[in-house]
Amino acid sequence: MSLVIRGAGIAGLVTAHELVSRGFSVEVHERADAVGQGASHYAGGMLAPYCEREAAPEQVLQLGLQGLKWWRKTLPSEVVNKGTLVLAQPRDMAELSRFAARTRAYEWVDAEAIATLEPALAGRFQKGLFFADEAHLDPRRVMRRLHETLEKHGAVFRLSYDDVMAPPPPECTGDGTLGHTGSCIVDCTGAAAIGTIDGLRGVRGEMLYLHTPDITLSRPIRLLHPRHPLYVVPRGDGLFMLGATMIEAADSGPITVRSLMELLNMAYAVHPAFGEARVTETGAGIRPALPDNIPRIFETPEGLAVAGMHRHGFLLAPAMAQEVADRLERRHTSVERKIA
C-alpha cells in the first residue's frame, strides 16, 4: 500500500518511520523547503514522561513511556539517558513539594547529591528532585537522522510542495475498496490543521539558545517558579536551549521582550554565568492542542489525521505513529481479505 504523509515535522517523520518499518511505501509532502520546521524546530527534546505528568493526565505519562522506549530502540545513539533534575530556589520550596506530589519515579536529592550530578551547580541549590529514568535528545539532529534514514529505505520526500488539492495515490481511486477505507493520506501538519479539526487551537511557545563555555550541564534542568518556570537543555559545546512559555495564542511572531526577560532572569537564577552568555538564537512556534491537551488520531475523508501534540511532540509522536500504523495494517488486512 502506498501512503502520503502530509507534514515533515516530528509527527510526520516518526509516523513515516513507523510505517516504512512495517513495509508500507511512503511519500512525505512538506510545504517548507526542509524537514523539521514549525514547532518541531523549536522543541526542547526532553523525553520526560514523569515530569510532564505534573501538569498532564496519566494518559500522557503512559504514552510518554511508550515513546521513550521507542526512541531508545530506534535511535539509541541520539538519546542521552542522564535523567532530569528539578530544582527550586529556597523561597519556592513549596513548588518543589507540589511538583513531587503530582508525579512519581523520582528521588529527593540534597545539596551534596546535586553537586555530584551537576558540579557546575554546587552550592547553588539545597534540595531537588532527580528523575533518573528520563532522557533527552537534540530535536534538529534527530529529525535530520530520521530524514536520512527514511530516504535510505525508499521514502520519497516532496519539499516546497503544496499538495492540498493533489489527488491521492492510485490505490485510493481504483476499484473503490481502498478509497473507501480512507487509508491513503495521513495528515501530520500540526498547527496548519487549526480550523480543519474541531477544537484544535494554537499554543505559543518561545525559546532561545545561549552559548557560554563557562557552564557544563549533563541533563535538562527544570527550575520551578510560581509564574515563570524554566527548563535548560544542554546541547553540547557550551550551547543551551531555554524555554517554558505557554501562551494561549496562535501567533508565531518573534519572541516578546517580556518572555525574553523572564527566560534570561530565570537562567541567571540557575547560574550567574548565564549573564555573560551570548544569545545565539530566539524563536517562537505554535503548538497544536486540543481542549484536554491530549493528542488524538481522527478519521478524515482522506484518511487519518494526527492532531493535538501540544508540548509533547517528541515524547508522544511514537505512540501516535504506532497507533496510525496499527490502524492501517488492520485496514490493509481487511481489504486483502475482501479482494481474496
Amino acid at 11: A
Q: What is the mean pLDDT of residues 51-59?
A: 95
Q: What is the pTM of this model?
A: 0.92
Q: Give the model confidence (pLDDT) of 131-153 as tens digits.
A: 999 999 999 999 999 999 999 99
Amino acid at 191: A
What is the reported pLDDT for 249?
A: 87
Q: Give the model confidence (pLDDT) of 257-295 as tens digits.
A: 999 999 999 999 999 999 999 999 999 999 999 999 999
d(CA 141, CA 51): 23
Q: Give the model confidence (pLDDT) of 216-239 as tens digits.
A: 999 999 999 998 899 999 999 999
Grid coordinates 494526527 are at which residue? 306
* 1-80+136-197+291-340 to CATH, choices 3.30.70.1350, 1.10.10.10, 3.50.50.60, 3.40.50.720: 3.50.50.60
Topology of the domain comprising 84-132+201-289: D-Amino Acid Oxidase; Chain A, domain 2 (3.30.9)
Average pLDDT, the chain: 91
Cell of 330: 488492520
| 60-66, Cβ contacts within 8 angstroms, sequence gap of 24 or more | 60/294, 60/312, 60/315, 60/316, 61/103, 63/315, 63/316, 63/319, 63/320, 64/312, 64/315, 64/316, 64/319, 66/318, 66/319, 66/322
What are the structural domain ranges in the chain? 1-80+136-197+291-340, 84-132+201-289
Amino acid at 108: W
pLDDT > 70 fraction of the chain, expressed in percent and rounded: 91
The values of phi and psi at residue 258, to 5°, are: -60, -50
Amino acid at 265: N
Rounded alpha-carbon distances, angstroms, from residue 89 to 68, 92, 100, 101, 262: 29, 5, 15, 18, 15
What is the reported pLDDT for 166?
A: 52
How many residues in the chain? Answer: 340
Q: Give the model confidence (pLDDT) of 150-163 as tens digits.
A: 999 999 999 998 76
Q: Which of 176-190, 194-208, 283-297 has the lowest mean pLDDT?
A: 176-190
